[in-house]
Chain A
Amino acid sequence: MTRLTLSRALNEGLRKALENDPKVLIMGEDVGKLGGVFRVTDGLQKDFGEDRVVDTPLAESGIVGTAIGLALRGYRPVCEIQFDGFVYPAFDQIVSQLAKMRYRSLGAVTLPVVVRIPCGGGIGAVEHHSESPEALFAHIPGLRVVACGDPADAYTMIQQSISCDDPVIFFEPKRRYWDRADVDVARGLAGALPVDRARQLIPGTDVTVLAYGPMVKTCAEAAIAAGADGRSVEVIDLRSLAPLDTETIFESVRRTGRCVVVHEAAVTGGLGAEVAARVTEECFYQLEAPVLRVGGYSTPYPPSKFEEHYLPDLDRVLDAVDRTFAY
């Protein structure tokens, strides 16, 4: 076991992928000498060269569009989008090309492209640097959308995503980049939990709290606090947002009878809405209360002086947990 930050765990995972497959490429703005603005690619260009760790011109559509071309030639590009709010210039290439080319070709074309996106707020940033656009991508057939919540998952999930033959949108919780945890870097991918499965993080009996990315830690802390008050909160890290691991979700909610979904993104049209609809449809007779959502408000991401109020925190999660017991 090695104690690593989430950023470093991603770095080690990328390094492993580059070592294991000569077709793996990293491309993005400032990923070379600088090592990325969050240092996720630190030192990789030095060790793998400028042809494999590619500093690109400053244009997101170009990054993803050329990655598609490289994938057509047999490469496995990993694109870094510098911040969540800068992915939109690439949205057309992701939605209309990356997601659909396999379908268009009746299966002849395989595009193993990973698009890494640091997401979420909580770092006091200026506008466009704190967004959570995952639902936009989860809505698009042809994409897989995943979010890592801790260093160990970051290490394995990035490697699993790179070896996946489908395009993967990979969300990284930027305010957790500096969180440290033990990571078994000697361990291979064999036996690891598949990237499209959710994980029971904390077992519980009274209520199921579903979270992903930056909210996993918040919800885990909420579960501990609730335990002190005598409530047994089960926390599940969804990990895969498209497809959702409904089997794991339903099994938990059927046991607990209560469900709260937590994300930073605005609740309107968010992943929580999708989870709530499916849980209601499949677990209707086991539910003791409506599925509740905790998330961002239906405003643009506010200036950072507001973010402690905008972002779901431990108290808002506990408030929602309490409300599920009011029915």
Chain B
Amino acid sequence: MAVNVAGQAASPDSRRYPGQPESAETVQLLTPEGQLVEDPDYPLDISADQIKDLYRDLVLVRRIDFEAIALQRQGELGIWASLLGQEAAQVGSGRALGPRDMAFPTYREHGVAWCRGLDPIKLLALFRGVSHGGWDPKEHNFHLYTIVIGSQTLHATGYAMGIQRDGAVGEDGEAVIAYFGDGATSQGDVNEAFIWASVSNAPVVFFCQNNQWAISEPLERQSRVPLYQRSQGFGFPGVRVDGNDVLGCLAVTTKALQAAREGQGPTLIEAFTYRMGAHTTTDDPTRYRLSAELESWKLKDPIERVRQYLIRSELADMPFFDTVAAEADQVGARIRKACQEMPGPPPPSMFDNVYAGAHALLASERDQFEAYLDSFADEEAAR
């Protein structure tokens, strides 16, 4: 019988490639039951207050998501891409970032946006159709949401190449994190980003949230190998972490970012998680996946395990949880009100910011458009 490099009997499953372990090693520091696990590669150096802060982040982020889904259902948003189930992956990685690190999100990184200090109202403006984003990436070192799948991984890599040219690698260095999903790993741009990052040893961390589903397509449609193992072929390390474990995601991302800052190049992190909700509010997952799968992932909830840990270890009491819940309600009410009161953009402003310099043709179209609008005002006045 053939034996693979891990010393295990080769799987009869012909889809496995030689050397692939029977089961992927997954870093986990907090079990679904709320038990801490020691991992010599990722020693936990975190205070009780920091864990409580992470719990607060998780709860608030879920609440923002919940409120946004409700706002969409009530017609206040055109669409919403829920992060339900991915809170730990986003908060854990987001809190690993230093203020000078740069994040390149997809359109689902509401939890990372929260960690970077971006007002959730900006996200609602995008999904309400008031802007295509409209924030300054430099303000929070959080790039604009990218909707085309995988494009941002190249932007992140180019930005990291800029860090190298600025001499900002080494002690006190800077790093970049690129977010993407399991579906994106099939995109040419993501594979090109891996190549560029590898050959230029760019300070970038590729953070893949494998939520198992690319709309209706399961992971088997994207890959025959565990995603974190993809990095081997590109020549840099890959690691899989329990994406529902905020402590594991924090530790793994912290280490990868530090390696990048110090000049050790890229790392691929696969945060193994699950998209608990629909792809977006327009999607119907009951058409393509079984509810039993969803039920099994409910037992691995990213927030509940932190709560269990805090209770069991007596690091937090009921007033703490009540305070966080009350704050979540406040945040929910605030963003609801701000969303409902958000002014529509003035129509001529759709001509703004297409170009940095003067553009005669666009200027003349704007003039014509304004004159056209004014013609109705004249009509109104004549009545």
The docked-state distance in angstroms from the alpha carbon of A89 to that of B189 is: 10
What string of 1s and 0s marks CB contacts (under 8 Å) between A208-219 and chain B? 000000000000
The docked-state distance in angstroms from the alpha carbon of A102 to that of B188 is: 24
Name the contact of B352 in the complex, choosing from A59, A101, A106 (C-beta under 8 A): A106
130-157 of chain B: CB within 8 A of chain A: 131-139, 143-144, 146, 148, 151, 153-157
The docked-state distance in angstroms from the alpha carbon of A105 to that of B361 is: 22
What string of 1s and 0s marks CB contacts (under 8 Å) between A102-114 and chain B? 1111111110000
Minimum distance in angstroms from A245 CB to a CB of chain B = 8
Q: Is B15 an interface residue (CB 8 A)?
A: no
B133, A104: Cβ atoms closer than 8 Å = yes
Name the contact of B151 in the complex, choosing from A96, A102, A166 (C-beta under 8 A): A96
Q: Is A97 an interface residue (CB 8 A)?
A: yes
Q: Is A14 an interface residue (CB 8 A)?
A: no
CB-CB under 8 A from B164, the residues of chain A are 51
What string of 1s and 0s marks CB contacts (under 8 Å) between B150-190 and chain A? 01011111111111111000000000000000000000110
**A-B CB contacts (within 8 Å), total count:** 145
CB-CB under 8 A from A72, the residues of chain B are 137, 143, 155, 158-159, 162
Q: How many residues of A contact B (CB 8 A)?
A: 46
CB-CB under 8 A from B192, the residues of chain A are 57, 59, 61-62, 65
Minimum distance in angstroms from B360 CB to a CB of chain A = 6
With A61-B154, A69-B160, A243-B362 known as contacts, the answer to whether A102 contacts B354 (CB < 8 A) is: yes
Name the contact of B189 in the complex, choosing from A57, A62, A74 (C-beta under 8 A): A62
B189, A164: Cβ atoms closer than 8 Å = no
343-368 of chain B: CB within 8 A of chain A: 352-357, 359-362
Say whether chain B's binding surface is mostly helix, strand, loop, or mixed: helix
CB-CB under 8 A from B196, the residues of chain A are 56-57, 62, 66
Chain A residue, CB-CB nearest to B139: A108
Minimum distance in angstroms from A243 CB to a CB of chain B = 4
The docked-state distance in angstroms from the alpha carbon of A61 to that of B193 is: 10
172-197 of chain A: CB within 8 A of chain B: 196
Q: Which residue, B163, B199, B357, has most C-beta atoms of chain A within 10 A?
A: B357
B158, A67: Cβ atoms closer than 8 Å = yes
CB-CB under 8 A from A244, the residues of chain B are 361
B157, A69: Cβ atoms closer than 8 Å = yes
Q: Is B195 an interface residue (CB 8 A)?
A: yes
B158, A65: Cβ atoms closer than 8 Å = yes
Chain A residue, CB-CB nearest to B355: A166
CB-CB under 8 A from B354, the residues of chain A are 102-103, 141-142
B132, A66: Cβ atoms closer than 8 Å = no
The docked-state distance in angstroms from the alpha carbon of A51 to that of B161 is: 9
